[in-house]
Chain A
Amino acid sequence: MQKKDFGMVKETSQPEYKTSLVIQTVTRMMLPFLLMFGLSLIVHGHLTPGGGFQGGVVIGATFILLGLSFNKEEGRRAAPDGAIKVLASSGISIYIIVGMMGMIGGFNFLTNQWMRFPPVGELGELFSGGTLFWINIGVGLTVSAIAIELFYAFLEEKRDPAYKKNIKVLNEKRRWSDDGVS
């Protein structure tokens, strides 16, 4: 049987698993629109319903879709391991640093007064919320990185190599009672 090579999916560690051509083509066409939708939800967090959490989940689901419709290797190349962990930590760091900037002028932690009074920007513009704009971006980065990392953690776990050798010894050593009471 001939194997047609369309040039999209390379032969990797899971050679039997290939989704159909329709799924791959539609995913490649829809990816930029999904990412722009998620980014629009995050950035317009103070103008329309949405915000950091909702947009972060949409961006995380986009990368999970990429990993599901192609191989795991292709998905891991789009979201490398070290970069995702750095993004997850930097989102929370942005939140704390923005909160600490007000303490330089003598205000409280997490105050909006150093950017809001005097009011910067009119009501309804993009840069009008004060610290809300930067906090939304930070939370969006954290939530999307956590969604991607949780998906790939379950796929990449390695079983203990001594498990198969020890399982017979372990099963003989365990004592099971006959009734349901331990």
Chain B
Amino acid sequence: MMGFLELLLTRMDYIVTVILFCIGLYALVVKPNLIKKMIGMNIVETSVYLFLIASADIRLGTATRFWAHPNEILNAQEAVHAAAGEFVMVNPIPSALVLTAIVVSVSVTAVSLSLAVKIYENYGTLDTRKIMRLQG
């Protein structure tokens, strides 16, 4: 029981990723309004950013060239590292992936918003159940 709880607590970032993904996927699939579908797609993409950034973290790692605060040291092995002045830096590659993904998300949102404006001008409604009944 305590082993399972520890298993959950150490991977909390990934579990929040899955919860956000399911919420966004529900909004994308079930809601009939076009704008609500776009908001759901944004939530799905946000969960993927969280997953990528959480996989780049190293315990006691920093983004610059300085060692961690003395309150965060857990055992004697890391105290030796802190006394010697060494440092560990986090992984920079997922941050580059997330920057590209943010730009792609902005582009998709802009183009789909312009398509929604044109659909509203032409059909008078934004409800997909009503637009699907069109024949020919």
Contact = CB atoms under 8 A, between A and B. Distances in A.
Do these two chains interact? yes
Interface of A: 49, 53, 150, 153-154, 157, 159, 163, 174-180, 182
B85 interface: no
B11 interface: no
A37 to B, nearest CB: 20
Identify whether the interface residues of B are mostly helix, strand, loop, or mixed: helix
Contacts of B113: 154
B20 to A, nearest CB: 23
Interface string B12-31: 00000000000000000000
A182 B132 CA distance: 6
A119 to B, nearest CB: 18
B117 A157 contact: yes
Given A53-B103, A157-B117, A180-B129, A175 B135 contact: yes
B133 A177 contact: yes
A162 B9 CA distance: 62
| Chain B interface size, under 10 / 10 to 19 / 20 to 34 / 35 or more | 10 to 19
A79 to B, nearest CB: 18
A153 B117 CA distance: 12
B136 interface: yes
B63 interface: yes
Contact of B121 (A154, A163, A177, A180): A163
Given A49-B63, A150-B110, A157-B117, A175 B99 contact: no
Contacts of B76: none
B133 A182 contact: yes
B132 A180 contact: yes
B80 interface: no
A177 B63 contact: no
A135 to B, nearest CB: 14
B5 interface: no
A176 B117 contact: no
Nearest to B135: A175
A111 B117 CA distance: 43
A163 B129 CA distance: 24
A68 B102 CA distance: 24
5 contacts: A53-B103, A154-B113, A175-B135, A176-B133, A182-B134
